[in-house]
């Protein structure tokens, strides 16, 4: 053990410097611009409309953060940013970061108040229903759904690969958003047919995305509210980044409704940034739970042990936790035969 140093404290305490620099780069389209071809400082300054005082420091900060590369004064994307932060590529994950920049960055400034009051700090601070307000504005809902696709893409590919889909023919993604999970899973398993279940406002955005992927013949939309309406009758129900939005009673209700909708032998898959059972390692999951404090009246993230217990209480058997991509894991439960 070496002598204590302030390095970690300072990195965390001033971590918002690097975060906001990254978010502003996405907002300005730096990575999309460079995906079209490398460029020097004057060209980028002009194309991105950057003030000369800040342009060089900004771009070189992105180099130091390993988001850009620079050789002989020419800037280019790193391999990661070229793949994941070019808006023109289907692999773009920046939607969730765009939302973080436009919304969450400011709201997290009120975290201390949230910790003292237990009250959310987003647009609904003086309203009653964040989701109703969000879904009432078409452009905002489109941006939100695009963000959900970005945060679900990695998990979707892992679910397609790590769950045994050969035993089933139909599935539904409950809270499907733009449709990333149905598209990825259906493409990987041509024998499957899928339903995207979400509020009716989502339908045109969902159907447009599915059509762009050429999967309209196997994926359809079903409108509804998962608290007020029955869930689709399919072999497998997926709930991704859904359970953590709600309080304990609502979490249990959603699992009970999934159990009621499934046939004997059917399965439920709930995935989130599942917190490790010792609550020591998955910092992202714990921070996501604080984000639920900011964003929702009663939502919180949970451990695998927590979710397995809720599934058993709802009637599911043999629940297990399977790691997915990054901080996400899925908890799988089965309806008895």
CA dihedral 138, 144, 145, 149 (to 10 degrees): 160
**pTM given for the model:** 0.89
CB-side neighbour CA atoms (13 Å) of 78 = 12
Sign of CA pseudo-dihedral 317, 320, 325, 326: positive
Catalytic residue among 51, 126, 157, 244: 244
* Residues sharing a CB contact under 8 Å with residue 266, sequence separation 6 or more, in sequence order: 168, 234, 235, 236, 237, 334, 335
Active site residue 189: no
Per-residue confidence of the chain (337 residues) as pLDDT tens digits? Answer: 688 999 999 999 999 999 999 999 999 999 999 999 999 999 999 999 999 999 999 999 999 999 999 999 999 999 999 999 999 987 888 888 998 998 899 999 999 999 999 999 988 776 656 666 666 666 667 777 777 776 778 899 999 999 999 999 999 999 998 899 999 999 999 999 999 999 998 899 999 999 999 999 999 999 999 999 999 999 999 999 999 999 999 999 999 999 999 999 999 999 999 999 999 999 999 999 999 999 999 999 999 999 999 999 999 999 999 999 889 999 999 999 9
């Amino acid at each position: 053990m070496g002598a204590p140093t302030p390095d970690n404290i300072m990195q965390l305490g001033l971590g918002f410097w690097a975060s906001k620099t990254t978010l502003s780069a996405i907002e300005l389209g730096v990575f999309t611009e460079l995906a079209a071809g490398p460029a020097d400082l004057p060209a980028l300054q002009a194309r991105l409309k950057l003030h000369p005082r800040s342009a060089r420091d900004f771009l070189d900060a992105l180099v130091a953060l390993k988001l850009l590369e620079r050789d002989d004064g020419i800037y280019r994307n790193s391999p990661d940013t070229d793949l994941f932060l070019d808006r023109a590529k289907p692999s773009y994950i920046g939607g969730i970061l765009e939302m973080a920049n436009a919304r969450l960055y400011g709201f997290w400034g009120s975290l201390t108040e949230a910790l003292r009051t237990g009250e959310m700090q987003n647009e609904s601070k003086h309203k009653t229903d964040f989701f109703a307000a969000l879904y009432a504005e078409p452009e905002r809902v489109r941006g939100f759904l695009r963000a959900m696709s970005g945060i679900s893409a990695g998990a979707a590919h892992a679910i397609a690969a790590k769950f045994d889909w050969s035993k089933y023919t139909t599935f539904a993604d409950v809270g499907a958003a733009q449709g990333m999970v149905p598209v990825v899973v259906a493409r990987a398993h041509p024998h499957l047919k899928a339903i995207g279940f979400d509020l009716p406002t989502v339908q045109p955005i969902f159907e447009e995305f599915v059509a762009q992927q050429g999967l309209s013949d196997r994926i359809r939309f079903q409108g509804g509210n998962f608290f007020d309406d029955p869930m689709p009758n399919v072999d497998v129900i997926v709930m991704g980044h859904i359970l953590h939005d709600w309080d304990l009673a609502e979490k249990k209700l959603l699992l009970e409704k999934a159990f009621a909708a499934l046939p004997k032998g059917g399965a439920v898959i709930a995935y989130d940034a599942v917190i490790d059972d010792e609550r020591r390692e998955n910092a992202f999951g714990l921070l996501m739970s604080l984000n639920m404090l900011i964003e929702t009246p009663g939502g919180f993230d949970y451990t695998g042990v927590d979710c397995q217990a809720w599934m058993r209480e709802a009637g599911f058997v043999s629940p297990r936790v399977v790691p997915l991509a990054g901080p996400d894991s899925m908890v799988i439960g089965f309806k008895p035969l």
